[in-house]
């Protein structure tokens, strides 16, 4: 992996909401609690997002597969229960499991990486890489995640997994001609990682940002003030929001369908098969950051008011 210089600006960059962006994403659609009520409503669905970037998994939570003739990179695996659907999606998209070279992740929550233990067994040659903070949580099966430590919800736990190696801020993971770059963006968890890659469609390059999770969990699940299990959480969140605004972004992804308007963008694609790719959405990139920063600031303000 190639190590690049570390740069994390801390000055808040002012960015106004554009009318176009506000029209694209609404609070009820981007809210991560807006999901199917039961598995009967959940669908297996491989989707080619752009060029060699695929959504695999299901209609609520996905994994991101980045493909190449030399092998593939898988980011997240979905939950322990539904990881077999991720396998099925990969195969239905026309790819072979044995061609996966690296398994990466956005953050160590069960619904996003509980299936990693199964993938380790299915593709034992694939290297599992994670940030140090994420690797520590993975090794305990979620026991040391600050959210579990504060509320003790056993549904947050998963089979413990040992990473093959650690990634640092701006490390590059490469397979053949494809590369993804790690950006450590803590807050949602201490080891949350955002990934970027460059793709080409119709002769033009686009920057894809796979966000690592930017939602504040609420005072009942993840306090921003006086959090003994994660003392620097508020500062980490703000630094991460500031940093994410510095990234060039044409296509934004996050492995939860409602957060990226997956269904609506698929409908747009179906209505206009020859039209522009609806996933190319630079304004949506910025609105995504703005939305979750406002959620964070609202929780912070509420906690400060309650503190008196």
Q: What is the pLDDT of residues 239-283, one digit of tens each?
A: 999 999 999 999 999 999 999 999 999 999 999 988 999 999 999
Domain ranges, ordered by start, for the chain: 46-307
pLDDT of residue 92: 94
Helical (H) or strand (E) element with 218: none
In the chain, % of residues over pLDDT 90: 79
| CA 268 to mean position of chain CA atoms | 23
Q: Which CATH number fits domain 46-307: 3.60.15.10, 2.60.40.10, 3.30.70.1150, 2.40.50.100?
A: 3.60.15.10
Tokens 């593709």 belong to which residue? Answer: 123
**Residue 51: which pLDDT band, with cuts at 50, 70 and 90?**
very high
Tokens of 249: 């972004």
pLDDT of residue 41: 54
pLDDT of residue 5: 30
Q: Give the pairing type, strands 62-66 and 53-57.
A: antiparallel
Q: What is the pLDDT of residues 179-211, one digit of tens each?
A: 999 999 999 999 999 999 999 999 999 999 999
Tokens of 89: 């999606």
For residue 229, count CB atoms less than 10 angstroms from its CB and return exposed for 0-12, middle for 13-18, buried for 19 or more: middle
Q: Is the pTM of this model over 0.95?
A: no
How many whole angstroms separate alpha carbon 179 and alpha carbon 14? 31
Q: What is the pLDDT of residues 144-179, one digit of tens each?
A: 999 999 888 898 999 999 999 999 999 999 999 999
Q: What is the pLDDT of residues 8-23, one digit of tens each?
A: 332 222 222 232 332 3
Q: Is 24's pLDDT higher than 80?
A: no
What DSSP designation does 250 have?
A: S
pLDDT of residue 43: 79
In the chain, % of residues over pLDDT 70: 87
Nearest Cα residue to 191 out of 147, 230, 135: 135
Q: Which phi and psi angles does 12 have, rounded to 5°? A: -70, 125
Tokens 């450590």 belong to which residue? Answer: 184
How many whole angstroms separate alpha carbon 236 and alpha carbon 128? 25
Nearest Cα residue to 120 out of 102, 135, 132: 102
Higher pLDDT pick, 230 / 38: 230
Q: Is 7's pLDDT higher than 70?
A: no
**Residue 33: which pLDDT band, with cuts at 50, 70 and 90?**
very low
Tokens 């801020």 belong to which residue? Answer: 169
């Amino acid at each position: 992996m190639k190590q690049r210089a570390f740069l994390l600006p801390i000055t808040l960059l002012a960015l106004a909401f554009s009318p176009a962006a506000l029209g694209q994403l609404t609070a009820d659609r981007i809210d991560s609690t807006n999901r199917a009520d039961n598995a009967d409503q959940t669908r297996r669905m491989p989707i080619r997002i752009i060029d060699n970037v695929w959504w695999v998994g299901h209609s609520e939570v996905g994994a991101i597969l980045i493909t190449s003739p030399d092998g593939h990179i898988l980011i997240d695996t979905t939950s322990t229960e539904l990881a077999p659907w991720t396998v099925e999606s990969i195969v239905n998209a026309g790819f072979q499991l044995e061609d996966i070279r690296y398994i990466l992740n956005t953050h160590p929550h069960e619904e996003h990486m509980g299936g990693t233990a199964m993938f380790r067994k299915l593709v034992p040659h694939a290297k599992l890489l994670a940030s140090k903070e994420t690797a520590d949580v993975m090794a305990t099966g979620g026991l040391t995640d600050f959210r579990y430590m504060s509320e003790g919800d056993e549904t947050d736990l998963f089979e413990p997994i040992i990473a093959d190696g650690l990634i640092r801020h701006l490390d590059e993971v490469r397979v053949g001609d494809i590369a993804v770059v790690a950006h450590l963006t803590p807050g949602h968890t201490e080891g949350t990682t955002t990934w970027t890659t460059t793709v080409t469609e119709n002769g033009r390059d686009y920057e894809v940002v796979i966000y690592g999770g930017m939602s504040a969990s609420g005072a009942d699940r993840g306090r921003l003030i006086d959090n003994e299990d994660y003392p620097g959480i508020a500062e980490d969140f703000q630094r991460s929001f500031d940093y994410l605004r510095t990234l060039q972004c044409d296509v934004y992804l996050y492995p939860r369908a409602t957060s990226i308007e997956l269904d609506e963008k698929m409908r747009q694609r179906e209505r206009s098969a020859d039209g522009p790719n609806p996933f190319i959405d630079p304004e949506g990139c910025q609105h995504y950051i703005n939305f979750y920063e406002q959620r964070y600031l609202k929780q912070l303000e509420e906690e400060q008011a309650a503190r008196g």
